Structure 1
Amino acid sequence: MKHSQLFIDSLIHPKKLAAYRLLPIGKVIQYTFLLVSFVTVFSFGRFTAGVSINTIDFSGLTEYIEDIKWLLYPATFILLFVFTTMLIFAQIAIYALAGHFILKVMKRRGEYRHIWRTTTFAITWATILSTLSEYLPISNTIISILSLLLTITLLIVAFTKYPKQPIAK
């Protein structure tokens, strides 16, 4: 399965997310790192466009920053990648934990690893929305709440396609 197809299905077909719980974990991790790369590159672009030496009044500090700029950008990119990776994986884990409880309430069968995989695809909209929130005239709090509700809604829609728990006799 191609990553582009996974991306499109994550955006348009939430019911297919349940089927992707059976994908190999390697493919899911690759998709997660594509999301991480997207956020990192976008954030790094905003960082490089926002770095303005003219706002600093200290001439010595300005010269120093100009001298180490070749070192500042790669270090910034690596740190952004590492922190973005940690944040997205933590976000997936927390949503998957919440999804585990939702799955129990819905009386559906599923293991945490399946829910984690489904959650990885369900956060696609939230990731795009939060990345582009800088350009939207909406506060970050509203964007966060909207992302939370959107991800939980996508999980619930996907969970409807999980198998039902057998009836105890």
Structure 2
Amino acid sequence: MKHSQLFIDSLIHPKKLAAYRLLPIGKVIQYTFLLITIVTVFSLGRFAAGMSVDTFDMSSFNGLTEYIEGIKWLLYPFTFLMLFVVTTLLIFAQIAIYALAGLFILKIMKRRGEYRHIWRTTTFAITWATLLSMLADYLPIHNAIISVISLFLTIILLIVAFTKYPKQPIAK
């Protein structure tokens, strides 16, 4: 299955997310790193656009301006690496926390599933939240409200996907 198809289905076909719980973990991790790379490149672009020596008041620092101009070529790869590592940690933590919440939701809905299945489904369910967080600075909405919207959107997508999980057998 292509990553582009996974991305499109994550955005517009939430019921297919349940079927993706059966994908190999390697494919799911690849998709996760694709999201991480998109977020990192977007963040680096914002950093590069906002990073200008002219934006800082360095009139009192004579040699500092020349020093920053001299090491600027080194600053961008280091920034990309740090952004990638931090974004990776944050997204994997976010997936793990949502999957843990999904485990409780799955029990309430009386559906069968293991944490590993829920983790895979959650990976695809956070696509909208990831895109919203990237675009948060361009929207006329406070970041806290964007976070709450992302939270509810992810949980709703998980619940819709969980409706396609198999039901628990009735105990006799």
Report if TM-score (shorter chain) is over 0.5.
yes
Asked if 1:133 corresponds to 2:113, the answer is: no
Residue 150 of structure 2 is matched in structure 1 by 147
Deviation digits for residues 126-163 of structure 1 (CA, Å, limit 9, x no counterpart) = 00010011110100000000000000000000000000
Superposition RMSD in Å: 0.6
% identical equivalent positions: 82
Which of the residues 108, 117, 131 maps onto 2:120?
A: 117
TM-score by length of structure 1 reads 0.99
Residue 67 of structure 1 corresponds to 70
1:102 corresponds to which of 98, 102, 105? 105
Give the C-alpha shift of residue 61 in structure 1: 1.3
1:59 Cα deviation (Å)? Answer: 2.6
What per-residue deviation string (whole Å, max 9, x for no partner) do you get for residues 70-110 of structure 1? 11111000000010011000000000000000000000000
TM-score after normalising by structure 2: 0.97
Looking at structure 2, the residues matched to 56 and 164 of structure 1 have their Cα atoms a distance apart, in angstroms, of 63
Pairwise CA distance, 1:4:
0.6
- Please, which runs of 5 or more residues in structure 2 have no aligned partner? none
Q: Does 1:16 pair with 2:16?
A: yes
Q: Name the SS for the 1:161 alignment partner.
A: coil
Distance 2:139 2:62 in 1: 36
Instruction: Give the count of matched residue pairs.
Output: 169
Moved runs in structure 1, 4+ residues, more than 2 A?
none
- Match for residue 76 of structure 1 among 76, 79, 83: 79
